């Protein structure tokens, strides 16, 4: 076995060990809720990654530090394997209830839970959770065992910050290897010079904000179990709910408005949160991305409010603002909570097409890089816009002119502009390419005439942007198996910003002799 | 034994915004959620939870003004 495989194997092993810890901690939930039948499933789900992790880390203990290529492969494979192991609780608990062994009591099977006896549905739910997407294979979340309600929220919460960030924080290992892994998980900004300190501070901020979110939701009227789950998934901008109609179930303006700051917190980069907690509030407007989070959400909310109001979707301007602001922020922060559902529980079911496409635009761009959101990210959209303006203006200057482009307080020279612009353009191009491919594939797979083109674009953008709003296409029965496989891929590349997945696939094909 | 010597808690205190008030909010948070889960919704628990959230917001603003 070559050195690269040893490095990848060792670090994958560490990720599996961290995942096993999450599964064992979750055993507390069936104990508290007396769902004892769920304990064996959770225990076995934790034991498998623990053993795999132990074997890999002990066998490849002395492997070299990961380089950039290894980091990308570890990130891509790590996320995929974690999704596979994370699907085990869904699968095993569903089968436990299906068999209903007398020694574990007599839990009642439901069609919602029975859907997870199909491994592809369990894997879909797990990938959707870890990537913070929030599309679901459940028909009715309310009838799921509390253990699985918790596991869905918990994996979104962890996935919001990142599986590798978690591993780096728990199994701290100083050195360049941790930095490489950190950057491979679509992050770059540091809070402290040490990467281990940085990830620990990120978790500190995330945990504190989680408690604040839970308590805020409870104060405005949400029951405590709902507040715990929605506080976690709202801050992580994941969007899994424990109720059938998502946040629409509560039908409370206070809860809707309380969730707005929670989702916004999740869409601001962690280093900015750190500076704000340090007392440096100027970052709310001085930091380019944070400033644009507010500008972008403000413009989107105003536009959506006007569109749904003049489209006669709602009677009053306040109601239009309530639903418009919630759905735009929910989409643009990639949370994917739904309040504007119709009788068939379809997101934005009553909304005019132009309003639905405005929401799609919000999903595509997303929030700040370095936060919990998906999408292309604001900094890339702004780099593209500024870069285009810079290039057009270039024609009006003499060839000898020395020009610089200012982005977020940095003055970039020509070479740096080209580099930043190229990176943003590559990711944006790939993003739209896969959005187009996904849309085309879904149009082929779905029954003809059942869904409109805007529904299909909406659903693929939602999966790839890790948003989770659904136009009603995603479901255990409504989405064909090939469509589920395609969405698994969309969610995976969306979370890792595409390149690490493509690098990994190239490495696999190259090694297997398929690429050349 | 100091609080900072307790496993996990010590790491948490070392990791954050280097401010004991925020550290305290972090440590009090789960206890308060547990109290609410056990006692349910009452004037006292609502008051405690509201005080926690308001104090957090007010303290962030206070730090900003002082900065």
pLDDT tens by residue, B7-24: 777 777 777 778 889 999
- Look at residue A229 and tell me whether its pLDDT is greater than 60: yes
What's the average model confidence in pLDDT over A220-234?
A: 96
Q: To the nearest whole percent, how much of chain A has pLDDT over 90?
A: 56
Q: Does A228 touch chain B (CB under 8 A)?
A: yes
User: Residues A275, A283: contact at Cβ < 8 Å?
Assistant: yes
Secondary structure, 3-state, A49-62: HHHHHHHHHHHCCC
Give the mean model confidence (pLDDT) for residues A386-391: 89
Give chain A positions within 8 Å (CB) of B64. Answer: 276, 279-281
Looking at the DSSP bridge assignments, the partners of residue A407 are A410
Q: Are A338 and A347 in contact (CB under 8 A)?
A: yes
Closest Cβ–Cβ partner in B11, B17, B61 for A278: B17
- CA–CA separation, A223 and A226 (whole Å): 5
Measured CA distances, A40 to A23, A37, A49, A66, A152 (Å): 11, 7, 15, 36, 18
ipTM attached to this prediction: 0.94
A276 touches chain B (CB under 8 A): yes
**Average pLDDT for A304-319:** 90
Least confident of A145-149, A399-403, B50-54: A399-403
Q: Read out DSSP for A314-375? A: SSSHHHHHHHHHHHHHHHHTT------B-TT--BTTTS-HHHHHHHHHHHHH-S-TTSS--S
Q: A406: helix, coil or strand?
A: strand
A40 close to A89: Cβ distance less than 8 angstroms: no
Q: What angle do CA A333, A76, A93 make, to 5 degrees?
A: 80
Among all residues of chain B, which has the CA nearest to that of A224? B37
**Residues in chain A closer than 8 A to B56 (CB atoms):** 212
Q: B18, B20, B21, B33: best mutation site toward chain A, by most A Cβ within 10 Å? A: B33
Cβ neighbours around A112 below 10 Å, total: 20
For chains A and B, what is the number of CB pairs under 8 angstroms? Answer: 80
- Determine contact: B29 vs chain A, CB below 8 A: yes
Q: Does B50 touch chain A (CB under 8 A)?
A: yes
Q: Enumerate the residues of chain B whose CB falls inside 8 A of the CB of residue A209.
A: none
Q: How far apart are CA A45 and CA A446, in angstroms?
A: 34
Q: For an interface test with B, which of A29, A277, A280 has the most B Cβ atoms less than 10 Å from its Cβ?
A: A277
For the cut 70, the answer to whether the pLDDT of residue A190 exceeds it is: yes
* Residue A416 pLDDT: 86
How far from each other are the two terminal CA atoms of chain B, in whole angstroms? Answer: 33
Per-residue pLDDT at A126 exceeds 70 = yes
Instruction: Kindly tell me if the per-residue pLDDT of A105 is higher than 80.
Output: no
Region A275-297: mean pLDDT is: 91
The residues, any chain, with a CB within 8 Å of residue A516's CB and separated by 6 or more, are A510
Q: Would you call A285 an interface residue with chain B, using a CB distance cutoff of 8 Å?
A: no
Name the helix (H) or strand (E) containing A410. Answer: strand A410-412
Q: Decide if A225 contacts A242 (C-beta within 8 A).
A: yes
Residue in chain B closest to A272 (alpha carbons) equals: B17
Contact A278 B67 (CB under 8 A): yes
End-to-end alpha-carbon separation of chain A, Å? 21
Burial of A194 (0-12, 13-18, 19+ CB in 10 A): middle
Among A348-362, A463-477, A492-506, whose mean pLDDT is lowest? A348-362
Q: Which of B37, B53, B64 lies at the smallest CB-CB distance from A212? A: B53
Q: What are phi and psi of A412, to 5 degrees?
A: -95, 140
B46 Cα to chain A: minimum distance (Å): 6
Structure tokens at A299: 């413009």
Which of A201, A224, A279 is opposite residue B16, by nearest beta carbon? A201
* Spatial contact of A457 and A440, defined as CB atoms under 8 Å apart: no
A108 phi-psi bin (left φ>0, alpha ψ -120 to 50, beta other): beta
| Structure confidence at residue A312 (pLDDT) | 80
Asked whether B38 and B62 are in contact (CB, 8 A), the reply is no
Q: What is the mean pLDDT of chain B?
A: 89
Q: Tokens representing B31?
A: 């206890």
pLDDT over 50 (residue A516): no
**Lowest mean per-residue pLDDT among A116-120, A157-161, A168-172:** A168-172
Contacts of A47 by beta carbon, 8 Å cutoff, 6+ apart: A20
Which H helix or E strand runs over A435? helix A414-445
Q: How far apart are CA A227 and CA A234, in angstroms?
A: 10
Determine the pLDDT at residue A514: 47
- Which residue in A215, A277, A280 is closest to B52 by CB distance? A215
Lowest pLDDT segment from A170-184, A192-206, A314-328: A170-184
Is the minimum CB–CB distance between B36 and chain A shorter than 8 Å? yes
Average predicted confidence (pLDDT) for chain A: 89
Beta strand pairing call for A410-412 and A405-407: antiparallel
Chain A touched by B8 (CB under 8 Å) = no
Instruction: Give yes or no for a contact between A462 and A468, defined as CB atoms under 8 angstroms apart.
Output: yes
For residue range A24-70, list pLDDT tens digits in order. Answer: 999 999 999 999 999 999 999 999 999 999 999 999 988 888 888 88
Per-residue model confidence (pLDDT) at position A292: 92
Give the residue from chain B lying closest to A283, CA to CA: B64
Residue of chain A nearest B46, judged by CA positions: A219
Residue A265 touches partner B, C-beta closer than 8 Å:
no
Give the residue on A whose Cα is nearest the Cα of B32. Answer: A215
Structure tokens at B10: 């010590």
How many residues would you count in chain B? 67
Q: What pLDDT was estimated at residue A187?
A: 66
Residue range A329-344: mean pLDDT, rounded? 84
Which chain B residues touch A216 with a CB distance below 8 Å? 53
What pTM, to 2 d.p., does this model score?
0.92
Q: Would you call B17 an interface residue with chain A, using a CB distance cutoff of 8 Å? A: yes
Q: How far is B5 from chain A (nearest CA, A)?
A: 17
Could you tell me which residues come within 8 angstroms of residue A159 by beta carbon, excluding any fewer than 6 positions away?
Answer: A129, A130, A131, A132, A236, A238, A495
Chain A from 185 to 224: CB within 8 A of any B CB: 197, 200-201, 203-205, 207-208, 210-212, 214-216, 218-219, 224
Cα torsion A167, A173, A176, A177: sign: negative
CA nearest to B36 within chain A: A224
Q: What are phi and psi of A339, to 5 degrees?
A: -120, -30
For residue A219, the model assigns a pLDDT of: 97
- The answer, yes or no, to whether residue A294 has pLDDT greater than 60, is yes
Distance of CA A378 to the CA centre of its chain: 16
């Amino acid at each position: 076995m070559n050195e690269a495989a040893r490095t990848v194997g060792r670090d994958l092993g560490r990720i599996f060990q961290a995942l096993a810890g999450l599964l064992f901690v979750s055993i507390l939930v069936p104990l508290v809720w007396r769902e004892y039948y769920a304990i064996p499933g959770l225990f076995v789900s934790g034991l498998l990654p623990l053993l795999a992790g132990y074997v890999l880390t002990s066998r490849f203990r002395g492997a070299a530090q990961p380089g950039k290529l290894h980091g990308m492969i570890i990130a891509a494979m790590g996320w995929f394997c974690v999704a596979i192991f994370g699907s085990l609780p869904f699968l095993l608990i569903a089968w436990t209830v299906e068999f209903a062994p007398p020694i574990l009591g007599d839990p009642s099977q439901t069609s919602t839970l029975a859907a997870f006896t199909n491994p592809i549905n369990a894997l879909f739910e797990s990938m959707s959770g870890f990537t913070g997407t929030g599309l679901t294979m459940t028909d009715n979340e309310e009838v799921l065992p509390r253990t699985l309600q918790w596991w869905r929220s918990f994996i979104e919460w962890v996935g919001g910050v990142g599986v590798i960030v978690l591993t780096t924080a728990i199994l701290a290992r100083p050195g360049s290897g941790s930095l490489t892994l950190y950057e491979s998980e679509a992050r770059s900004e540091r809070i402290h010079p040490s990467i281990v300190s940085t990830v620990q501070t990120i978790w500190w901020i995330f945990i504190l904000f989680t408690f604040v979110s839970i308590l805020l939701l409870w104060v405005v009227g949400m029951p405590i179990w709902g507040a715990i789950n929605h506080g976690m998934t709202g801050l992580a901008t994941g969007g899994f709910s424990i109720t059938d109609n998502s946040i629409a179930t509560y039908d409370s303006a206070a809860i809707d408005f309380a969730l707005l700051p929670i989702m916004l917190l999740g869409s601001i980069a962690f280093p900015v949160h750190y500076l704000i907690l340090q007392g440096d509030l100027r970052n709310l407007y001085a930091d380019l991305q944070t400033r644009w989070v507010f500008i972008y959400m403000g413009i989107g909310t105003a536009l959506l409010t006007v569109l749904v109001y003049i489209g006669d979707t709602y009677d009053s301007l306040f109601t239009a603002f309530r639903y418009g602001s919630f759905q735009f922020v929910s989409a643009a922060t990639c949370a994917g909570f739904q309040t504007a559902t119709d009788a068939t529980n379809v997101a934005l079911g009553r909304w005019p097409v132009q309003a639905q496409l405005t929401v799609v635009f919000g999903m595509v761009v997303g929030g700040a890089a370095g936060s919990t959101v998906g999408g292309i990210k604001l900094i890339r959209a702004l780099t593209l816009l500024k870069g285009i303006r810079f290039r057009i203006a270039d024609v009006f200057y003499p060839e000898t002119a020395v020009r610089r482009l200012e982005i977020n307080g940095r003055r970039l020279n020509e070479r740096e502009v080209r580099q930043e612009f190229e990176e943003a353009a590559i990711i944006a191009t790939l993003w739209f390419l896969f959005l187009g491919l996904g849309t085309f594939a879904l149009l082929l797979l779905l029954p003809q005439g059942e869904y409109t083109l805007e529904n299909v674009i909406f659903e693929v953008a939602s999966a790839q942007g890790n948003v989770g709003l659904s136009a009603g296409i995603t479901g255990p029965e409504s989405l064909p198996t090939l469509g589920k496989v395609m969405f698994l891929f969309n969610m995976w590349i969306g979370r890792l910003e595409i390149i690490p997945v493509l690098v990994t696939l190239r490495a696999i094909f190259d090694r297997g002799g398929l690429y050349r | 034994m100091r609080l900072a010597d307790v496993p996990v808690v010590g790491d948490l205190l070392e990791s954050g915004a280097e401010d004991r008030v925020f550290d305290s909010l972090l440590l009090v948070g789960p206890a308060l959620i547990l109290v609410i889960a056990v006692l349910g919704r009452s004037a006292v628990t609502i008051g405690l939870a509201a005080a926690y959230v308001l104090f957090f917001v007010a303290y962030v603003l206070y730090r900003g003004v002082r900065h």
